[in-house]
Amino acid sequence: MSSFRSIPGTGDRGDDQFPDIKEITIPFNQALTIIIVATIVALLLKVFVIVYVCRLCRERLGRESSDSVCPETQSLTLNMDKFLNEMEKEKPIRFTSQQLRIATDNFTNLLGSGGFGTVYKGIFSNGTMVAVKVLHGDSDKRIEEQFMAEVSTIGRVHHVNLVRLYGFCFDLNLRALVYEYMVNGSLDKFLFGEDKKLGFQQLQAIAIGTAKGIAYLHEECQQRIIHYDIKPGNILLDANFLPKVADFGLAKLCNREKTHVTMTRGRGTPGYAAPEL
């Protein structure tokens, strides 16, 4: 039997033949921090990817749905746009003096004049014809009173027998009211003119229409409106001779509880009393 000798200097420990290896240790708190940070970064990346994919899918679905909108939905959208546009038109528009100068060709087409202002014919770029009433008076206070009387009355009511107020201008150098244009002008031309005459049925229809407009002002508005200047010159006629009450420069608002209003001084045309009085 052969025997093995131990190598001198090694002894019986076989591990002594390898060099010493130093153990590397990481503190527990530092290791925990590294694990937490790595986990958070991984979660954030995953969330980012999910959000990005969802956004792409939503955009694709949106494009597909917009391309495949049914005619009924398109019709509803168009109808709503038209409705909102019509609602916007119901409010008086504030025009600039430059806009009105352009529309009236620098106030060259005179329609008529009265005690409260001068009226000019105008046309906007969209083809709408208007009557622009430039206010004038003895003082700025009188002009402001007339302006507020017209806007606070005819600017807030709508009736087929009341002239429509499209808008106004209240700049430093121009105070004006913009009304719908009435092709046939005022009733007095047909009553007192030599060339223009109306038949009995037309006159009757004009009288009834005017009465409806006045009744609306007196009975159907949230606040009663007293015109104070009803006369043939303030009854305008459209292309079909439909009458519309105009010129609210003397109009006055009063509460619905009141059935009578006391006047302290005369109003309107000297020597003439409106049927309301």
In the CATH scheme, what is the homologous superfamily, with its name and number, of domain 89-254?
Transferase(Phosphotransferase) domain 1 (1.10.510.10)
Residue pair 216/227 in contact (Cβ under 8 Å)? The answer is no
pLDDT for residue 237: 95
Domain ranges of the chain: 89-254
Percent of the chain with pLDDT over 70: 70
Which residues are identified as catalytic?
229
Identify the residue with better confidence: 93 or 257. 93
Q: Mean of the per-residue pLDDT values for the chain?
A: 78
User: In the structure, what pLDDT confidence band is assigned to residue 93 with cuts at 50, 70 and 90?
Assistant: confident
- Is 22 annotated in some ligand binding site? no
In this structure, the strands spanning 252-254 and 224-226 are: antiparallel
The string of DSSP codes covering the chain is ----PPPTTTTT-GGGGSPP-PPP---HHHHHHHHHHHHHHHHHHHHHHHHHHHHHHHHHHHHHHHHT--HHHHHHHHHHHHHHHHHHHTSPEE--HHHHHHHTTTTTSEEEE-SSEEEEEEE-TTS-EEEEEEE--SSHHHHHHHHHHHHHHTTS---TTB--EEEEEE-SS-EEEEEE--TT-BTHHHHH-SS----HHHHHHHHHHHHHHHHIIIIISSSEEE-S--SGGGEEE-TT--EEE---TT-EEE-TT-S----SS--SSTT---TT-
Query: CA 28 → CA 34, 62, 129, distances in Å?
Result: 10, 51, 87
Q: For 182-221, what is each residue's pLDDT tens digit?
A: 999 999 999 988 777 889 999 999 999 999 999 999 888 8
Task: Tell me the per-residue pLDDT of 22-48, one tens digit each, with 9 for 90 and over.
Answer: 555 556 667 778 888 788 888 888 888
With a threshold of 0.85, does the pTM exceed it? no
